[in-house]
């Protein structure tokens, strides 16, 4: 589903989008990335999380050089996700 009123990229968040829209990992402690979303999206970007545990960093963000100190997944509690379409704008 597309919305003509919103301009921006669509699709899965990937390394190209991260590089284009987020601060570089090389900025060290000046960079903080907060990841939220359905479990599959979080796992793809920051690694699989177990319940309330942050867990180790993996996925796209680790591949791009981000560290565990730079990445947080603030909502790690189980949640029901809506099946309605969602639009993310970067």
Query: At which residue do the structure tokens 């947080």 appear?
Result: 72
Cβ–Cβ < 8 Å for 87, 6:
yes
Quote the CA–CA distance of 7 and 64 in Å, as a whole number. 26
Question: What are the structure tokens assigned to 76, written together?
Answer: 């790690």
Cβ–Cβ < 8 Å for 47, 59:
yes
Whether this prediction's pTM lies above 0.85 is answered by no
**Per-residue pLDDT reduced to its tens digit, 12-71:** 899 999 999 999 999 999 999 998 888 888 899 999 877 667 788 999 999 999 999 999
Residue 79 confidence (pLDDT) = 54
Quote the CA–CA distance of 21 and 40 in Å, as a whole number. 21
């Amino acid at each position: 589903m597309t919305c003509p009123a919103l301009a921006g990229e669509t699709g899965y968040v990937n390394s190209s989008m991260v590089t284009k829209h987020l601060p570089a990992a090389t900025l060290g402690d000046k960079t903080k990335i907060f990841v939220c979303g359905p479990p599959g999206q979080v796992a793809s970007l920051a690694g699989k999380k177990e319940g309330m545990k942050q867990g180790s960093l993996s996925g796209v963000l680790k591949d791009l050089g981000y560290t565990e100190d730079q990445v947080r997944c603030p909502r790690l509690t189980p949640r029901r996700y809506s099946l309605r379409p969602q639009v993310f704008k970067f």
